[in-house]
Amino acid sequence: MFATLTTAIVAFGLAALVITIAGSQLARVADELSDRSGLGEALFGVFLLAGVTSLPDFAATLSAALDSRPDLAMSNIMGSMAANLVFLGIADMVYRKANLEHAAASPTILMLAALLIVLLTLPLMAVAMPALSLWGVHPVTPVIVAAYLSGLYLVRGTQQQPMWIPRHTRQTVPDQPTRHRHGKLSTAWFSFIALGAVTGGAGWILMDAAKVISDQAGLSESLVGGLLTALATSSPELVTTIAAIRQRALTLAVSNIFGTNCFNMLVVAAADAGYPGGSIYHAMAPVQMTWGLVGILMTAILLMGMLRRELYGIGRIGFESVLILAVYALALGIVMAAG
Protein backbone atom coordinates (compact mmCIF):
# COMPACT_ATOMS: atom_id res chain seq x y z
CA MET A 1 0.00 0.00 0.00
CA PHE A 2 2.88 2.40 0.75
CA ALA A 3 5.69 2.75 -1.75
CA THR A 4 8.25 4.65 0.32
CA LEU A 5 9.47 4.68 3.90
CA THR A 6 8.46 8.33 4.33
CA THR A 7 4.91 7.62 3.19
CA ALA A 8 4.70 4.65 5.55
CA ILE A 9 5.92 6.72 8.52
CA VAL A 10 3.40 9.49 7.81
CA ALA A 11 0.58 6.93 7.42
CA PHE A 12 1.64 5.21 10.65
CA GLY A 13 1.52 8.50 12.54
CA LEU A 14 -1.84 9.53 11.10
CA ALA A 15 -3.38 6.12 11.83
CA ALA A 16 -2.10 6.24 15.42
CA LEU A 17 -3.57 9.75 15.77
CA VAL A 18 -6.96 8.61 14.47
CA ILE A 19 -6.95 5.68 16.91
CA THR A 20 -6.14 8.02 19.80
CA ILE A 21 -8.84 10.58 18.94
CA ALA A 22 -11.52 7.95 18.38
CA GLY A 23 -10.54 6.21 21.61
CA SER A 24 -10.98 9.41 23.60
CA GLN A 25 -14.58 9.63 22.41
CA LEU A 26 -15.28 5.96 23.09
CA ALA A 27 -14.95 6.36 26.86
CA ARG A 28 -17.64 9.05 26.99
CA VAL A 29 -20.07 7.07 24.82
CA ALA A 30 -19.31 3.82 26.67
CA ASP A 31 -19.95 5.38 30.08
CA GLU A 32 -23.31 6.65 28.84
CA LEU A 33 -24.30 3.33 27.28
CA SER A 34 -23.23 1.33 30.33
CA ASP A 35 -25.75 3.28 32.39
CA ARG A 36 -28.57 3.62 29.87
CA SER A 37 -28.39 0.00 28.68
CA GLY A 38 -28.51 -1.39 32.24
CA LEU A 39 -25.37 -3.52 31.78
CA GLY A 40 -23.28 -1.52 34.22
CA GLU A 41 -19.66 -0.46 33.82
CA ALA A 42 -18.07 -3.85 34.49
CA LEU A 43 -20.10 -5.92 32.03
CA PHE A 44 -20.15 -3.18 29.39
CA GLY A 45 -16.39 -2.85 29.67
CA VAL A 46 -15.91 -6.61 29.29
CA PHE A 47 -18.48 -7.47 26.64
CA LEU A 48 -18.54 -4.37 24.42
CA LEU A 49 -15.91 -1.72 25.09
CA ALA A 50 -13.13 -4.31 25.27
CA GLY A 51 -14.06 -5.68 21.87
CA VAL A 52 -14.21 -2.25 20.26
CA THR A 53 -10.89 -1.01 21.67
CA SER A 54 -9.33 -4.30 20.54
CA LEU A 55 -10.32 -3.73 16.90
CA PRO A 56 -7.00 -2.05 15.97
CA ASP A 57 -5.13 -5.00 17.51
CA PHE A 58 -7.41 -7.45 15.69
CA ALA A 59 -7.00 -5.72 12.34
CA ALA A 60 -3.24 -5.26 12.67
CA THR A 61 -2.53 -8.79 13.94
CA LEU A 62 -4.74 -10.54 11.39
CA SER A 63 -3.23 -8.47 8.58
CA ALA A 64 0.28 -9.57 9.57
CA ALA A 65 -0.79 -13.22 10.01
CA LEU A 66 -2.46 -13.37 6.58
CA ASP A 67 0.71 -11.89 5.09
CA SER A 68 2.77 -14.76 6.60
CA ARG A 69 4.54 -12.56 9.15
CA PRO A 70 4.19 -14.59 12.37
CA ASP A 71 6.74 -12.59 14.38
CA LEU A 72 5.10 -9.28 13.54
CA ALA A 73 1.62 -10.64 14.27
CA MET A 74 2.38 -12.27 17.61
CA SER A 75 4.74 -9.58 18.89
CA ASN A 76 2.03 -7.02 18.16
CA ILE A 77 -0.77 -8.76 20.04
CA MET A 78 1.36 -10.04 22.92
CA GLY A 79 3.15 -6.70 23.23
CA SER A 80 -0.21 -4.92 23.22
CA MET A 81 -1.43 -6.97 26.17
CA ALA A 82 1.67 -6.11 28.17
CA ALA A 83 1.28 -2.43 27.24
CA ASN A 84 -2.37 -2.48 28.35
CA LEU A 85 -1.34 -3.68 31.81
CA VAL A 86 1.25 -0.90 31.98
CA PHE A 87 -1.58 1.52 31.25
CA LEU A 88 -3.16 0.51 34.55
CA GLY A 89 0.02 1.60 36.28
CA ILE A 90 -0.12 4.92 34.43
CA ALA A 91 -3.81 5.26 35.33
CA ASP A 92 -2.91 4.70 38.98
CA MET A 93 -0.58 7.69 38.74
CA VAL A 94 -3.37 9.79 37.21
CA TYR A 95 -5.92 8.91 39.91
CA ARG A 96 -4.52 10.69 42.94
CA LYS A 97 -7.30 10.15 45.51
CA ALA A 98 -6.20 6.60 46.33
CA ASN A 99 -4.62 3.53 44.83
CA LEU A 100 -6.70 2.73 41.71
CA GLU A 101 -6.84 -0.98 42.56
CA HIS A 102 -8.21 -0.04 45.97
CA ALA A 103 -10.85 2.37 44.70
CA ALA A 104 -12.10 0.13 41.87
CA ALA A 105 -12.16 -3.16 43.77
CA SER A 106 -14.84 -5.62 42.66
CA PRO A 107 -15.18 -9.42 42.40
CA THR A 108 -15.83 -9.07 38.66
CA ILE A 109 -12.43 -7.51 38.04
CA LEU A 110 -10.71 -10.18 40.15
CA MET A 111 -12.40 -12.88 38.08
CA LEU A 112 -11.23 -11.14 34.88
CA ALA A 113 -7.64 -11.07 36.11
CA ALA A 114 -7.74 -14.78 36.96
CA LEU A 115 -9.30 -15.57 33.57
CA LEU A 116 -6.52 -13.66 31.81
CA ILE A 117 -3.83 -15.72 33.54
CA VAL A 118 -5.56 -18.92 32.41
CA LEU A 119 -5.86 -17.69 28.81
CA LEU A 120 -2.24 -16.52 28.62
CA THR A 121 -0.93 -19.95 29.59
CA LEU A 122 -2.60 -21.64 26.60
CA PRO A 123 -0.34 -20.24 23.83
CA LEU A 124 2.66 -21.13 25.98
CA MET A 125 1.38 -24.70 26.15
CA ALA A 126 0.95 -24.69 22.38
CA VAL A 127 4.60 -23.71 21.92
CA ALA A 128 5.67 -26.60 24.16
CA MET A 129 3.48 -29.08 22.24
CA PRO A 130 4.37 -30.69 18.89
CA ALA A 131 3.73 -28.57 15.78
CA LEU A 132 0.29 -30.04 15.10
CA SER A 133 -2.22 -28.51 12.72
CA LEU A 134 -5.75 -29.71 11.98
CA TRP A 135 -7.38 -27.90 9.06
CA GLY A 136 -4.72 -25.22 9.42
CA VAL A 137 -5.39 -24.64 13.13
CA HIS A 138 -3.44 -25.84 16.18
CA PRO A 139 -5.56 -27.91 18.64
CA VAL A 140 -4.97 -25.33 21.38
CA THR A 141 -6.66 -22.58 19.36
CA PRO A 142 -10.26 -23.85 19.78
CA VAL A 143 -9.45 -24.42 23.46
CA ILE A 144 -8.60 -20.71 23.75
CA VAL A 145 -11.98 -19.80 22.27
CA ALA A 146 -13.85 -22.22 24.55
CA ALA A 147 -11.96 -21.00 27.62
CA TYR A 148 -12.76 -17.38 26.77
CA LEU A 149 -16.49 -18.04 26.35
CA SER A 150 -16.61 -20.12 29.53
CA GLY A 151 -14.75 -17.40 31.36
CA LEU A 152 -17.27 -14.77 30.26
CA TYR A 153 -20.02 -16.95 31.71
CA LEU A 154 -18.18 -16.97 35.04
CA VAL A 155 -17.61 -13.22 34.88
CA ARG A 156 -21.29 -12.58 34.21
CA GLY A 157 -22.30 -14.84 37.11
CA THR A 158 -19.83 -13.09 39.40
CA GLN A 159 -21.33 -9.72 38.47
CA GLN A 160 -24.95 -10.81 38.95
CA GLN A 161 -24.55 -12.97 42.05
CA PRO A 162 -21.26 -12.21 43.80
CA MET A 163 -20.41 -14.62 46.61
CA TRP A 164 -18.41 -11.96 48.40
CA ILE A 165 -17.94 -8.20 48.19
CA PRO A 166 -14.88 -6.05 48.98
CA ARG A 167 -14.90 -3.94 52.10
CA HIS A 168 -16.29 -0.51 51.36
CA THR A 169 -14.08 2.41 52.37
CA ARG A 170 -14.33 6.16 51.86
CA GLN A 171 -12.03 5.80 48.86
CA THR A 172 -14.07 3.05 47.18
CA VAL A 173 -15.84 4.30 44.06
CA PRO A 174 -18.81 2.00 43.29
CA ASP A 175 -20.42 1.69 39.87
CA GLN A 176 -23.31 4.13 40.04
CA PRO A 177 -25.31 5.57 37.14
CA THR A 178 -24.53 9.21 36.38
CA ARG A 179 -26.43 11.87 34.56
CA HIS A 180 -25.85 12.06 30.84
CA ARG A 181 -27.00 14.42 28.21
CA HIS A 182 -30.41 13.52 26.87
CA GLY A 183 -30.70 12.08 23.40
CA LYS A 184 -31.80 9.01 21.55
CA LEU A 185 -30.26 5.77 22.72
CA SER A 186 -29.94 4.69 19.09
CA THR A 187 -27.73 7.73 18.44
CA ALA A 188 -25.36 6.69 21.21
CA TRP A 189 -25.17 3.15 19.84
CA PHE A 190 -24.50 4.47 16.33
CA SER A 191 -21.67 6.66 17.66
CA PHE A 192 -20.19 3.68 19.50
CA ILE A 193 -20.27 1.46 16.40
CA ALA A 194 -18.94 4.20 14.11
CA LEU A 195 -16.01 4.95 16.42
CA GLY A 196 -15.25 1.24 16.59
CA ALA A 197 -15.21 0.96 12.79
CA VAL A 198 -12.86 3.94 12.52
CA THR A 199 -10.39 2.49 15.03
CA GLY A 200 -10.47 -0.90 13.30
CA GLY A 201 -9.77 0.59 9.88
CA ALA A 202 -6.97 2.71 11.28
CA GLY A 203 -5.44 -0.41 12.84
CA TRP A 204 -5.30 -2.16 9.47
CA ILE A 205 -3.60 0.86 7.84
CA LEU A 206 -1.19 1.11 10.74
CA MET A 207 -0.02 -2.48 10.31
CA ASP A 208 0.43 -2.07 6.55
CA ALA A 209 2.63 0.93 7.28
CA ALA A 210 4.52 -1.02 9.94
CA LYS A 211 5.37 -3.74 7.41
CA VAL A 212 7.02 -1.17 5.13
CA ILE A 213 8.86 0.41 8.07
CA SER A 214 10.16 -2.99 9.15
CA ASP A 215 11.31 -3.91 5.64
CA GLN A 216 12.83 -0.61 4.54
CA ALA A 217 14.26 0.62 7.84
CA GLY A 218 15.94 -2.70 8.59
CA LEU A 219 14.19 -3.14 11.93
CA SER A 220 13.25 -6.58 13.20
CA GLU A 221 9.59 -7.55 13.15
CA SER A 222 9.82 -8.44 16.85
CA LEU A 223 10.93 -4.90 17.67
CA VAL A 224 8.42 -3.21 15.37
CA GLY A 225 5.54 -5.36 16.61
CA GLY A 226 6.42 -5.35 20.29
CA LEU A 227 7.06 -1.61 20.46
CA LEU A 228 5.71 0.49 17.58
CA THR A 229 2.52 -1.27 16.56
CA ALA A 230 1.78 -2.67 20.03
CA LEU A 231 1.83 0.78 21.62
CA ALA A 232 0.00 2.43 18.72
CA THR A 233 -2.81 -0.11 18.50
CA SER A 234 -3.13 -0.09 22.29
CA SER A 235 -3.58 3.67 22.45
CA PRO A 236 -7.43 3.38 22.57
CA GLU A 237 -7.10 1.45 25.83
CA LEU A 238 -4.89 4.15 27.35
CA VAL A 239 -7.09 6.99 26.16
CA THR A 240 -10.38 5.38 27.17
CA THR A 241 -8.95 4.35 30.55
CA ILE A 242 -7.73 7.86 31.40
CA ALA A 243 -10.96 9.41 30.11
CA ALA A 244 -13.06 6.98 32.17
CA ILE A 245 -11.06 7.80 35.29
CA ARG A 246 -11.66 11.52 34.78
CA GLN A 247 -15.37 10.72 34.60
CA ARG A 248 -15.00 8.70 37.83
CA ALA A 249 -16.03 5.56 35.97
CA LEU A 250 -13.27 3.55 37.65
CA THR A 251 -14.89 0.14 37.19
CA LEU A 252 -15.24 0.81 33.46
CA ALA A 253 -11.58 1.86 33.25
CA VAL A 254 -10.15 -1.25 34.93
CA SER A 255 -12.60 -3.76 33.42
CA ASN A 256 -11.81 -2.35 29.97
CA ILE A 257 -8.11 -3.20 30.37
CA PHE A 258 -8.61 -6.73 31.65
CA GLY A 259 -11.53 -7.35 29.31
CA THR A 260 -9.49 -6.15 26.34
CA ASN A 261 -6.62 -8.46 27.17
CA CYS A 262 -8.99 -11.41 27.52
CA PHE A 263 -10.60 -10.52 24.17
CA ASN A 264 -7.13 -10.25 22.62
CA MET A 265 -6.72 -13.97 23.18
CA LEU A 266 -9.41 -14.39 20.52
CA VAL A 267 -7.14 -12.31 18.30
CA VAL A 268 -4.37 -14.83 18.97
CA ALA A 269 -6.75 -17.60 17.91
CA ALA A 270 -7.71 -15.66 14.76
CA ALA A 271 -4.02 -15.18 13.93
CA ASP A 272 -3.43 -18.94 14.11
CA ALA A 273 -6.48 -19.61 11.95
CA GLY A 274 -5.47 -16.96 9.42
CA TYR A 275 -1.79 -17.90 9.21
CA PRO A 276 -1.34 -19.89 5.97
CA GLY A 277 1.75 -21.83 7.10
CA GLY A 278 0.18 -24.12 9.72
CA SER A 279 0.63 -23.43 13.44
CA ILE A 280 1.66 -19.82 14.06
CA TYR A 281 2.88 -20.79 17.54
CA HIS A 282 5.76 -22.73 16.02
CA ALA A 283 6.43 -20.37 13.11
CA MET A 284 7.23 -17.39 15.34
CA ALA A 285 10.53 -16.83 17.14
CA PRO A 286 10.59 -18.10 20.76
CA VAL A 287 11.31 -14.56 22.03
CA GLN A 288 7.68 -13.67 21.28
CA MET A 289 6.60 -15.76 24.23
CA THR A 290 8.55 -13.39 26.46
CA TRP A 291 5.55 -11.08 26.23
CA GLY A 292 3.23 -13.94 27.21
CA LEU A 293 5.27 -14.75 30.30
CA VAL A 294 5.53 -11.08 31.18
CA GLY A 295 1.76 -10.74 30.79
CA ILE A 296 1.16 -13.57 33.26
CA LEU A 297 3.62 -12.06 35.74
CA MET A 298 2.15 -8.55 35.47
CA THR A 299 -1.42 -9.82 35.80
CA ALA A 300 -0.51 -11.83 38.89
CA ILE A 301 1.12 -8.75 40.43
CA LEU A 302 -2.01 -6.68 39.75
CA LEU A 303 -4.17 -9.45 41.17
CA MET A 304 -2.16 -9.35 44.40
CA GLY A 305 -2.53 -5.58 44.46
CA MET A 306 -6.31 -5.82 44.12
CA LEU A 307 -6.45 -8.34 46.94
CA ARG A 308 -4.09 -6.37 49.17
CA ARG A 309 -5.93 -3.08 48.40
CA GLU A 310 -3.15 -0.81 49.56
CA LEU A 311 -4.69 2.61 50.20
CA TYR A 312 -1.62 4.66 49.32
CA GLY A 313 1.86 3.71 48.21
CA ILE A 314 5.05 5.67 47.77
CA GLY A 315 4.11 8.88 46.02
CA ARG A 316 0.46 7.72 46.16
CA ILE A 317 1.28 4.97 43.66
CA GLY A 318 0.46 1.38 44.56
CA PHE A 319 3.29 -1.15 44.93
CA GLU A 320 1.77 -3.22 42.11
CA SER A 321 1.98 -0.27 39.70
CA VAL A 322 5.65 0.26 40.47
CA LEU A 323 6.37 -3.44 39.98
CA ILE A 324 4.57 -3.81 36.65
CA LEU A 325 6.36 -0.75 35.25
CA ALA A 326 9.68 -2.28 36.31
CA VAL A 327 8.77 -5.65 34.79
CA TYR A 328 7.74 -4.01 31.52
CA ALA A 329 10.99 -2.05 31.33
CA LEU A 330 12.93 -5.28 31.87
CA ALA A 331 10.91 -7.04 29.15
CA LEU A 332 11.62 -4.22 26.70
CA GLY A 333 15.31 -4.62 27.39
CA ILE A 334 15.13 -8.37 26.71
CA VAL A 335 13.24 -7.94 23.43
CA MET A 336 15.55 -5.17 22.22
CA ALA A 337 18.62 -7.23 23.09
CA ALA A 338 17.17 -10.17 21.19
CA GLY A 339 16.91 -8.01 18.11
| Per-residue pLDDT reduced to its tens digit, 62-120 | 888 998 888 888 888 888 889 889 988 888 888 877 787 777 788 888 999 999 999 99
Asked whether residue 105 is assigned to any structural domain, the reply reads: yes
CB 239 within 8 A of CB 24: yes
CATH assignment of the domain containing 226: 1.20.1420.30
pLDDT of the residue at 56: 79
pLDDT of the residue at 177: 55
pLDDT of the residue at 13: 84
Single-letter amino acid, residue 78: M
Cβ burial 14-48 (10 Å sphere, 16+ → b, else e): ebbebbbbbbbbbbbbbbbbbbeeebbbbbbbbbb
pLDDT, averaged across the chain:
82
Tens digit of each residue's pLDDT (9 = 90 or more) over 8-54? 888 888 888 887 788 777 767 877 777 777 767 667 767 677 777 78
Rounded percentage of the chain residues whose pLDDT exceeds 70: 90
State whether the Cα torsion 206-209-211-215 is positive or negative.
negative
Asked whether residue 42 is assigned to any structural domain, the reply reads: yes
What pTM did the predictor assign?
A: 0.84
Nearest by Cα to 247 from 20, 45, 18, 112: 45
> Number of folded domains in the chain?
1
Asked whether residue 192 is assigned to any structural domain, the reply reads: yes
pLDDT of the residue at 298: 94
Tens digit of each residue's pLDDT (9 = 90 or more) over 148-179? 999 989 988 888 888 888 777 777 776 555 55
Work out the average pLDDT over 137-146: 93
* Upper half-sphere CA count for residue 281 (Cβ side, 13 Å): 25
Q: Return the C-alpha torsion angle 310, 314, 320, 323, nearest 10.
A: -160
Tens digit of each residue's pLDDT (9 = 90 or more) over 285-315? 877 788 889 999 999 999 998 888 887 777 7
Asked whether residue 180 is assigned to any structural domain, the reply reads: no
Domain ranges, residue 142: 5-174+185-338
